[in-house]
Amino acid sequence: MTRLSDEPEIATLASELGLDWRLNAVTEIVAFCVAKIAKWIKEHGPVATIAELEHVVCEKLGLTFEEIREDDDLERIVQKYVALGEYGFAGLRHDFDESTFAAVLRRKNAEPHASDQFVAVVDCRGPKAARAFFSRWHEIAHLLTLPHQRQFTFHRSTTERPPTERLMDEIAGEIGFYDPIFRPAVADAVRRAGTLTLDVVGEIRQLHCPEASFQATLIACATRAPIPAIYVEAEMAFKKQELAHIRSGQGDLFPTDRPKAKLRARVAVPNEIARAAGLRIDRNMQVPESSVIHSLWIAGDGSDDPVHAETTENLTDWKHSDGEAVGDLDVRVEARRVPDKVIALVTVA
Amino acid 248: pLDDT: 65
- CB environment 147-181: b (16+ within 10 A), e (fewer): eeeeeeeebbbeeeeebbbebbbbbbbbbbbbeeb
Q: In degrees rounded to 5, what are phi and psi of residue 12?
A: -65, -45
308-314: strand order across its sheet: 262-270, 229-237, 341-348, 330-338, 308-314
Amino acid 260: pLDDT: 86
Q: Express as a percent the part of the chain with pLDDT over 90.
A: 79
Question: Residues 333, 310: contact at Cβ < 8 Å?
Answer: yes
pLDDT digits (tens, 9 = 90+) for 230-266: 999 999 998 877 666 666 666 554 555 677 899 999 9
Q: What is the DSSP letter of 107?
A: -
Residue 12: HSE in the Cβ half-sphere, 13 Å Cα cutoff:
7
Whole-angstrom distance, CA of residue 145 vs CA of residue 274: 33
Question: Residues 293, 232: contact at Cβ < 8 Å?
Answer: yes
Residue 153 binned pLDDT confidence (cut-offs 50, 70, 90): confident
With 0.95 as the threshold, say if the pTM is over it.
Answer: no
